[in-house]
Amino acid sequence: MLTNGQVLIVDDKIVLCGSSNINDRSQMGTHDSELTIVMEDTNTLPSMMDGKEYQAGHHAATLRRMLWREHLGLLPAQDLDASKDPNAQPPGDSDNDWFAGDEWDKFVADPLSDDLWNMWCSRATTNTEVFRGLFHADPDNVIKSFKDYEDFLPGQDRKQGHLFNQYMPAEDIRKQLDRIKGHLVWFPLRFLEDAQMAERGLQVNAYTESVYT
């Protein structure tokens, strides 16, 4: 069993899947115990890379395309009866269905496509705005200090994931939720950037270094 599993797909040719993080705790071999497998198949798939013809690895490329379509909200609706879905069957019983050759498969084939990048950014922006407006989801870039935090999330009785404005008309809520496509949101790199996070005089030393790394 893998917990907190990660997937890294390199150049549509190599897949790394496991529990390792890209930090010292995982990579140095002296902290956490990790397990990661590397998959590179010899079965190639004609594809595109930066507008040019490209021979991708079949497993890596199809996995990346399906994941990106899921994140972008480009997969067709699933039937409620999973027995009809080859992707829900045990390994070996049927071939995976990655919707080869359909409109959106071609759209996500080239990971460096400008059109794909524009959709990625626009959907992340819209989703972030909707979650901010409806739920005041945190962390958020508008929260740069603990005072901002108090203004953004006033009161102590509000539950995470619940509507911030409980009196908003249901029709308005539906209109906003309908704007959400896929799962993408922007990572809040400016969250609490103005807050003093460490105590004055606190230094990294032999005892604290293992905590921070």
Lookup: tokens for 53: 């013809």
Mind listing the pLDDT tens digit for each residue in 36-70?
899 998 899 999 999 999 999 999 999 999 999 99
Asked which of 21-25, 48-52, 120-124, 179-183 is least confident by mean pLDDT, the reply is 21-25
Predicted structure pTM score: 0.81
Neighbour count for residue 161 (Cβ, 10 Å): 8
The answer to whether residues 65 and 109 touch, using CB atoms and an 8 Å cutoff, is: yes
Concatenated DSSP letters for 12-67?
TTEEEEES--SSHHHHSSSSS---EEEE--S-EEEEEETTEEEEEEHHHHHHHHHH
The average pLDDT across 116-145 equals 95
The answer to whether residues 107 and 115 touch, using CB atoms and an 8 Å cutoff, is: yes
Concatenated DSSP letters for 82-104?
GGG-GGGSPTTSS-----TTSHH
Query: How many helices (H) and strands (E) would you count in the chain?
Result: 7, 5
Lookup: tokens for 131: 């979650």
Mind listing the pLDDT tens digit for each residue in 161-190?
789 988 999 999 999 999 999 999 999 999
**Predicted local distance difference test score (pLDDT) of residue 41:** 86
Cα–Cα nearest to 71, from 180, 160, 150: 180
Would you list the domain boundaries of the chain? 1-112, 113-213
Please give the single-letter amino acid code of residue 174.
R
